[in-house]
Amino acid sequence: MSDTTINSPLTLPCGATLKNRIAKGAMTEGLADPQNRATARHVRLYERWADGGSGMLLTGNVQVDRRYLERPGNVVIEGPQSNEQRAALAAYAEAGTRNGTHLWMQLSHAGRQTPAAVTQEPVAPSAIEVEMPGGQFGKPRALTGDEIEDIIQRFAHAAGIARETGFTGVQIHGAHGYLISEFLNPRVNQRTDEWGGSLENRARLLMETVKAVRARVGADFPISVKLNSSDFQKGGFSHQDSIQVAKWLDDAGLDLLEVSGGNYEQPVMMDTEGFEPVYEEKVRSSTRKREAYFLEYASDISKAVGKTPLMVTGGFRTIAAMNEALASGDTDVVGIARPLCVDAALPNKLLDGSVSEVRKWEKELRLGPTRIFGPNSPIDLIRGLNAWGVQGWYCLQIMRMGDGQNPDTRMSVFKALRSYMSNEQKAAKAMAKAA
């Protein structure tokens, strides 16, 4: 046990220092304009989060290809950036780096989890659809080898722009069922070329992306990867796979490995009520006791990696659990996401000890009566609607802060679902019109 606490600074392998051990987990903002550029709403939001005390803020996923977004309001960086686009990114970066805060841009390609409102034909390693009811995602087509090479260059290009415009690090999104995670997952990656089959081949997209990003941003700039500790699906990316990939990333030279888990089919990253999946590897009960969902998994990974600091995100809600996880060496950084939609200043309160336990909104929010929308609802569609409603609730709090308002915790999940869906439809239409 060490005496590391959330207040301890951390120097990363590249030489950069985080002022404390709390990082805001990436959360999609949906605040881009119809051309997918950063806006004044990002500036307002990130000023608030940078004033809130975190050592590091991760942005919501910024996309490297406008055809395959996670949602219509994503920021996109592709191709040459106009002076206007650069200025918008620079204002965003300036806001999020106030108070010596690090602001790292999360880069992603949504792959087959691109909603049908964005495209009816997303792309994936193989032509295998997301197994979810409601026709939310189109059937993907398999990427060609040339397209995969192009995607790697897109990540590197966007990382270079992030550095040039004042972001202080980048994170490659390799988790949660987006493209890189799909390549790692044998259920979705059934390719027989050098990008599929063995774990080495399935990890090639991730490893080549890390290499290309490092070559673009240089040795002194933080690079992180968000990786699943497991997909928690039968035949998916397993925990053993994850440990091996973490070792390769460690050898490649990474500054922070963020450990998460799951995907849209298996949303364990949120511990979503009602999803009690048939795990290949059940979320271990000791992890549950330790509050953070993936800590036991991170512990295995930390034993396997030599140089790379770890960040664990998902479920941290008490100072006691955060400090215990840091002191045990199972993680080096504590990621916190949803609570910062409700209270942007929470990290300051944890750091000065004025708050020791955070309210678990995720255990309270429901679309309707517990007997219908509670954990045991047998109907997939109802469970799915509930999960989207709750997700919409958090997204709307983020948008309120982007508009200079305070979060509204009295907002009903039902109202949030309606407003969120209407917002997404409007954003998709505006984007299509601007194209």
Ligand X SMILES: Cc1cc2nc3c(=O)[nH]c(=O)nc-3n(C[C@H](O)[C@H](O)[C@H](O)COP(=O)(O)O)c2cc1C
List of residues contacting ligand X (CB under 6 A): 25-28, 60-61, 106, 173, 176, 226, 260, 269-270, 313-316, 336-338, 391, 394-395
Please say which residue, 6 or 196, places its beta carbon nearer to ligand X.
Answer: 6
Please say which residue, 12 or 395, places its beta carbon nearer to ligand X.
Answer: 395
Please say which residue, 230 or 260, places its beta carbon nearer to ligand X.
Answer: 260
CB of 43 to ligand X, least distance (A): 18
Torsion of CA 60, 100, 307, 245, to 10 degrees: 0
- Which residues, in sequence order, are CB contacts of 82 under 8 Å at separation 6+? none
Please say which residue, 54 or 238, places its beta carbon nearer to ligand X.
Answer: 54
Give the Cα separation of 53 and 335 in Å (integer). Answer: 13
Neighbours of 139 (CB within 10 A): 14
What is the dihedral sign for C-alpha 249, 232, 137, 363?
A: negative
Q: How many residues does the chain have?
A: 435
Q: What long-range pairs does 188-191 form, CB within 8 A, spacing at least 24?
A: 188/112, 188/124, 188/125, 188/126, 188/128, 189/125, 189/126, 190/125, 190/126, 190/128, 191/125, 191/126, 191/142
Contact 140, 111 (CB under 8 A): yes
CB of 14 to ligand X, least distance (A): 21
Q: What backbone torsions phi and psi does residue 124 show, to the nearest 5 degrees?
A: -160, 170
H and E: helices and strands count for the chain: 15, 13
CB of 356 to ligand X, least distance (A): 16
Please say which residue, 196 or 261, places its beta carbon nearer to ligand X.
Answer: 261
CB of 392 to ligand X, least distance (A): 8
Q: Which residues of 71-102 are buried (b: 16+ CB within 10 A; e: fewer)?
A: bbbbbbbeeebeeebbebbebbbbbbbeeebb
CB of 193 to ligand X, least distance (A): 28
Please say which residue, 191 or 366, places its beta carbon nearer to ligand X.
Answer: 366
CB of 173 to ligand X, least distance (A): 5
CB of 262 to ligand X, least distance (A): 9
The residues that bridge with 336 in the sheet, in sequence order, are 24
CB of 9 to ligand X, least distance (A): 22
Which amino acid does the sequence have at 54?
S
Q: Which two tokens stand for residue 95?
A: 């806001």
Please say which residue, 25 or 169, places its beta carbon nearer to ligand X.
Answer: 25
Contact 26, 59 (CB under 8 A): yes
CB of 192 to ligand X, least distance (A): 30
The residues that bridge with 171 in the sheet, in sequence order, are 106, 224
Please say which residue, 264 or 279, places its beta carbon nearer to ligand X.
Answer: 264
Kind and range of the H or E run holding 172: strand 169-174
Please say which residue, 178 or 373, places its beta carbon nearer to ligand X.
Answer: 178
Please say which residue, 60 or 384, places its beta carbon nearer to ligand X.
Answer: 60
CB of 110 to ligand X, least distance (A): 10
Nearest C-alpha neighbor of 332 from the set 257, 270, 230, 227: 257
